Chain A
Amino acid sequence: MSLFNWLFRVDDAASGIANRNTKNSAQVTAKDRMRNMLTHDRLELPAGRLQILEEELIAVVSRYFDLDKETTHFDLQQFDRKAALIANFRLIRSKC
């Protein structure tokens, strides 16, 4: 590292700007993983259980509706240390 670079941290500043512009910075990755992990920890819910629930819920809703399974969205979110299960089923038509 040159003296100039060392003094002004030009390389770091540049990489910092590059990082901030991407969604893949270690900071963002850590925060996303952390949020997901703690939501499961707080519920004492192994992450794999959610997958099973998702499949079962899809099966139930599918008895009533044709579903667009590609866009069905299933998510656990955290609101002030309390978890919420957000399920978004895209319905095509009723089966009744």
Chain B
Amino acid sequence: MKAKAGAWLRRTWEHDLAWGFRRSPVTVAAAFLTLVCVGGAVFAPWIAPHNPFDSASLVLTDGFTPPAWVAGGRMEYLLGTDDQGRDMLSTIMYGSRVSLAVGLASVLFSMVLGVGLGLVSGYVGGRLDAFIMRVADIQLSFPAILIALLIDGVARVALPRDTHDQIAIYVLILAIGVSGWVQYARTVRGSTLVERSKEYVQAARVIGRSQASIMLRHVLPNVMGPVLVIATIHIATAIITEATLSYLGVGVPATQPSLGTLIRVGNDFLLSGEWWITVFPGLALIVLVLSVNLLGDWLRDALNPKLR
């Protein structure tokens, strides 16, 4: 068992992808930063120095403490505190949690929706294909953020305020998810058209496999490569979209702040000199999005045989 695991490790280490990864210092740095951000977010309840949502532990008089290295700063609050005395570092860690969760969940939602529709569209063809692709075209003529705003707006009007606050995060995931499926659908449809005409698909038809089985078991595994690349880059876009929506005040409620909410709240204090309340969440967002994007770029190049 141990020898087997060792062999597996060695194979992975020597694999093309791993080799390309080691050779690119930018990618290694991006992966490291992504790991730090994700790790900080996931383990926030255990490693964050304070719990910013525990109102009992908040000391209101500690409000507006600047970062530790600025005059008046305290080591206790490394990145300073906001108006209510919440430690910025902890707030950012908890905020990234919300940002990442919304980003990942909405990308997953987009991916399932888009891959499903693209697969059916490309494989079945005909009028269904024309219909799905025209819907995609129409949606593509609006900016994604507008679609997300629209869905969020409809949900706000349709639901009572309390209910909306409770499920705001799911509405947000739905809104961002629906606004992003087109890219997946188009890519998958294109690859499906190519795969469908290959002889292995015809062979499966001769064997007597059902359409659904051919789509899921034969075509799907062969069209997933580009989808993974799009998904990686889309995570960064989804996080930005979420931050934008939250910044505009239509995203998650202030009781559960994401990075976007933190930036918006901090903005109010920017002119009065408390810059750290908005700058640090902003920096965290930039680092997270940039490193995920760099990873996506690398994955795209690494999986493209023409660029090797």
Indicate whether A and B interact. no
